[in-house]
């Protein structure tokens, strides 16, 4: 445990010394782990409503802690942790409590805190990790607009802190809800290594054909949402206490022995949560470094293009001014009197002002276009054209897909003229690339192998 704490401190020091200085200059938001100590291990449960998240938590703890039902039962997040007695705290108390590591949740706003709860349960299992239950994903297109708080921001906060993320699906909605796709493709981008995909309630299938059809639909949807070469492993499970009388007596359904084993595999992964902590800290640092490098390279392209515009129209304005001066001088030598010379000089000055003004307008247009999705995609393609041309870089594409919205927000508050100079940016990029090549692998090697945890049963 002491070695895990040492690695945790080294990770925090790396954030502070190597990433934070350039991140602040580029208005890049580092993950939660960079802002506070890693804290207690935790497991985050996500999924469509009625997919069985709360029921699974109750099954895991062996008691009814969370409300369950076919209709949505809650629209907020619930943190379930160990305590000497049963107690429930509201969100405002949770974030203001000095001994609880949730202060940064305040930034999600009062509407979010009004729907946040913390439950303390005298359950021995919770001495090793905390559980976080979440609201079910909503079917409607534009579902984010039906909530009074930023659901995706809440998911991202808990996902960054979590050491394991369980994503539940059920036979009725195998990955087709609007919010589900957005959470998988954007909110959880870069955190796939923490993710377990679970198809729950397989005991409801009346025959193997129905199971195969639903499994295929879920696999197809995941292949569109998660941009990796291989589809993540899907754990097919059911909860024995949730079986209907018909399936219980065998008049319906499919053989469930293999699904019993799959459920136990998920539970074993949950028990391993504390041992995943050091690995996840280093993996989070790795992902944050890669994202910041991508962001810094994109900012470098923006700065370069802005400087090109600035230089081009600066040279044009100066050339027109010099031409005007020479024309004025020539006019004084050719025509007596000052009228012609004054006219030529005035024309040259006006042309210079017009060229300078047009260049300024072009730079303003360039800054405005940074808020356009198509223009950002073009800048991304230009920045990484060599990498994308040499091979299929699915990792870059997936990372960019998850960063597009935050990058757009960055350029609304970071104008091109405020981006550090190109020499400073390139030096910072080289420093971060050195982190990827040397220091982060060194941290990874320092993580001692943990023996597998015995089955508590």
Question: Are 198 and 300 in a shared domain?
Answer: no
* 184 in the same domain as 260: yes
Tell me the pLDDT tens digit for each residue of 166-219. Answer: 999 988 877 666 778 888 888 888 788 899 999 999 988 888 888 899 888 888
Range of the domain at 410: 293-445
CATH number, domain with residue 129: 3.40.50.300
Q: Answer for the pair 184, 200: CB distance below 8 angstroms, yes or no.
A: no
Percent of the chain with pLDDT over 70: 86
pLDDT at 228 (0 to 100): 62
* Average pLDDT rounded to a whole number, residues 113-117: 92
Angle at 62 between CA 60 and CA 64, to 5 degrees: 100
196 shares its domain with 259: yes
Q: Is the pTM above the cut of 0.85?
A: no
> What does the alpha-carbon distance between residue 372 and residue 337 come to, in Å, rounded to a whole number?
54
Q: Where are the beta strands (DSSP E) in 70-190?
A: 77-82, 87-90, 116-121, 130-133, 164-169
User: Is 232 found in the same domain as 121?
Assistant: yes
Residues 49, 125, single domain; the answer is yes
Cα separation, 4 vs 274, whole angstroms: 10
Flag whether 455 is in a domain. no
Do 432 and 315 belong to one domain?
yes
Of 82 and 32, more confident? 82
Residue 280 falls inside a structural domain: no
Q: Verify that 265 and 308 share a domain, yes or no.
A: no
Integer Cα distance of 325 and 331 in angstroms: 10
At 73 the pLDDT is 54
Give the Cα separation of 214 and 53 in Å (integer). 19
pLDDT in tens, 207-229: 888 889 988 888 888 877 776 66
Q: Which of 239, 271, 303 is the last residue of a domain?
A: 271
Q: Work out how many domains the chain is built from and give that number.
A: 2
Q: Does 22 reside within a domain?
A: no
In a domain, 252, yes or no: yes
Task: Using the predicted structure, report yes or no on whether residue 72 has a pLDDT greater than 80.
Answer: no
Q: In this prediction, what percent of the chain has a pLDDT beyond 90?
A: 39
Task: Give residue 251's pLDDT.
Answer: 45
Q: Are 249 and 297 in the same domain?
A: no
Q: 179 and 317: one domain? A: no
102 and 133 inside one domain: yes
* Backbone torsions φ then ψ of 167, nearest 5 degrees: -115, 110
Q: pLDDT class for 436, splitting at 50, 70, 90?
A: very high
Identify whether residues 252 and 378 lie together within a single domain. no
Residue 235 pLDDT > 90, yes or no? yes
Is 24's pLDDT higher than 90? yes
In a domain, 30, yes or no: no
Q: Is residue 27 part of a domain?
A: no
Looking at the structure, tell me whether residues 256 and 322 fall in a common domain: no
Tens digit of each residue's pLDDT (9 = 90 or more) over 269-313: 999 988 888 888 888 899 899 999 999 999 999 999 999 999 999
Give the integer Cα–Cα distance in Å for 334 and 324: 15
Q: Is residue 1 part of a domain?
A: no
β 164-169/42-47 pair status? parallel
Check pLDDT > 70 for residue 145: no
- Domain membership of residue 231 (yes or no) is yes
């Amino acid at each position: 445990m002491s070695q895990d704490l040492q690695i945790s401190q080294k990770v925090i020091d790396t954030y502070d010394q190597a990433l934070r200085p350039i991140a602040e200059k580029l208005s890049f938001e580092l993950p939660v782990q960079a802002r506070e100590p890693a804290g207690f291990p935790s497991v985050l449960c996500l999924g469509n409503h009625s997919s069985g998240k709360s029921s699974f938590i109750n099954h895991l703890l062996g008691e009814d802690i969370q409300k369950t039902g076919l209709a949505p039962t809650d629209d907020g997040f619930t943190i379930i942790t160990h305590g000497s007695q049963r107690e429930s705290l509201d969100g405002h108390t949770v974030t203001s409590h000095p001994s609880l590591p949730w202060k940064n949740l305040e930034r999600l706003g009062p509407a979010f805190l009004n729907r946040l709860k913390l439950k303390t349960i005298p359950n021995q299992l919770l001495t090793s990790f905390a559980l976080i239950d979440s609201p079910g994903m909503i079917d409607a297109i534009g579902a984010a607009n039906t909530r009074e708080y930023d659901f995706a921001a809440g998911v991202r906060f808990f996902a960054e802190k979590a050491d394991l993320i369980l994503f539940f699906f059920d036979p009725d909605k195998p990955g087709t809800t609007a919010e589900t796709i957005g959470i998988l493709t954007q909110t959880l981008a870069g955190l796939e290594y923490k993710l377990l995909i679970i198809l729950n309630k397989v005991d409801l299938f009346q025959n193997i054909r129905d199971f195969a059809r639903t499994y295929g639909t879920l696999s197809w949807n995941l292949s569109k949402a998660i941009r990796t070469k291989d589809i993540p492993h899907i754990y097919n499970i059911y909860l024995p206490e949730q079986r209907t009388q018909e399936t219980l007596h065998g008049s319906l359904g499919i053989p469930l022995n293999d699904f019993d084993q799959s459920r136990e595999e998920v539970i074993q992964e949950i028990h391993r949560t504390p041992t995943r902590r050091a690995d996840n800290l280093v993996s989070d640092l790795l992902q944050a470094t890669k994202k910041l490098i991508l962001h810094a390279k994109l900012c470098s392209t923006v700065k370069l293009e802005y400087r090109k515009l600035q230089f081009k129209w600066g040279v044009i304005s100066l050339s027109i001014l010099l031409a005007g001066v020479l024309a004025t001088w020539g006019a004084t030598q050719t025509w007596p009197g000052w009228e012609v010379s004054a006219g030529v000089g005035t024309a040259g000055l006006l042309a210079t002002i017009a060229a300078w003004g047009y260049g300024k307008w072009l730079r303003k247009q360039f800054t405005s276009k940074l808020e356009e999705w198509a223009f950002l995609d073009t800048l991304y393609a230009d920045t990484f054209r060599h990498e994308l041309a040499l091979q299929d870089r699915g990792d870059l594409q997936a990372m960019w897909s998850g960063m597009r919205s935050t990058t757009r927000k960055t350029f609304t508050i970071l104008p091109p003229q405020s981006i550090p100079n190109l020499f400073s940016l390139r030096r910072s990029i080289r420093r971060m690339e050195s982190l990827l090549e040397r220091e982060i692998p060194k941290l990874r090697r320092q993580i001692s192998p943990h023996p597998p945890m015995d089955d508590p049963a």
